[in-house]
Amino acid sequence: MEVAVRAVAAPAQDAENFRDWVAPHLLAMSRLATRLTSSADGDDVVQESLVRAWRKRSQYDETRGSAQSWLLAIVADRARRHRLRARPGRELVDLPAPSPDVERSLDLEDAIAGLPRRQRLAVELHYLLGLDVRECAAVMGCSEGTVKSTLFDARARLRGVLKEVDPA
């Protein structure tokens, strides 16, 4: 259930109003952070992103994009930085064999994770977060046409990878 929040147009300079301004976008920020890192690290990335957004709040320019696109662009940058410091050797646990549907999803997830950086961000924003092309363009800092062609290219690459995994 979505929580009703007070609509705030620009990031306020005081802490309470900044919180109100950010609140409607926290779920999207959390989802993108989780997608670009992992569920375990997603909260840390959102926390880091909010610290950065608070420090840079005076630089937000609503004529250049929505609050959500500004915040998601910060999340994407923080996630990249976080991934550089990702710790190897995560603990492995035994899980039951996945069902065919789950296996199919895992193949798709692996294929998405293997995309080049620009293509992966476009796919994550458009398909996984459900943003429209205009919003994706605002987050990525490029034109809508570039987002469309990037998505097309990403799908072409994904088709090739998925064909190798499951020729049938």
Partner 1 sequence: MTDDELDVRLRDHGSSWREVNQDRPGIDWDAVTTGRRPRAWLAVAGVSVAAAAVIIPVALTVGGGSSSRPRPAKHPSPSPTSERAGAPSGFFALHNGFLDYVGLTTGGEGGGHPQHSRGVEVGARADGSVGYGAFPMSGCKTEIDKIALVTDAQHPTGAIIQTTVTTILGGAPVIQSDGLGIAVSPDDTKLAMVLSTVHEVNGKKNCSGPEQLVMVNLVTHAVRRWNGSSTLSYLERLQWAPDSERLAYLAPPLCCHSVAMYRVLDTSAPGSSYSAPPPVLPVFDGHHDFGPVFWWHGQMVATNNDSLYLLNGHGGVGAAVARGFPTHLDSVSSDPTGDHLLLSSGDVTYRWDNGYLSVVKGNWTQPGW
Residues interacting with partner 1, by CB under 8 A?
A: 15, 18-19, 26-27, 29-31, 33-34, 37-38, 42-44, 46-47, 50-52, 54-56, 59, 61, 73, 76-77, 80-81, 83-91, 105, 108, 113-114, 116-119, 121-123, 127-130, 140-142, 146, 149-150, 152-156, 158-159, 162-163
Tell me the two tokens of residue 42. 């997603």
CB of 46 to partner 1, least distance (A): 4
CB of 96 to partner 1, least distance (A): 18
Indicate the residue among 7 and 85 with the shorter CB distance to partner 1: 85
Indicate the residue among 77 and 144 with the shorter CB distance to partner 1: 77
Closest to 111 in 3D by CA, of 36, 168, 162, 155 = 162
CB of 135 to partner 1, least distance (A): 14
Indicate the residue among 16 and 94 with the shorter CB distance to partner 1: 16
Indicate the residue among 7 and 54 with the shorter CB distance to partner 1: 54
Contacts of 76 (CB under 8 A, 6+ apart): 32, 36, 121, 139
CB of 139 to partner 1, least distance (A): 9
Distance CA 20, CA 9 (A): 10
Angle at 85 between CA 65 and CA 146, to 5 degrees: 30
Residue in the structure block whose two tokens are 């990249």? 80
Closest to 139 in 3D by CA, of 54, 89, 79, 67 = 67
E-assigned strand segments in 26-168: none
CB of 100 to partner 1, least distance (A): 14
Please say whether the beta carbons of 111 and 165 come within 8 A.
Answer: yes
Indicate the residue among 67 and 122 with the shorter CB distance to partner 1: 122
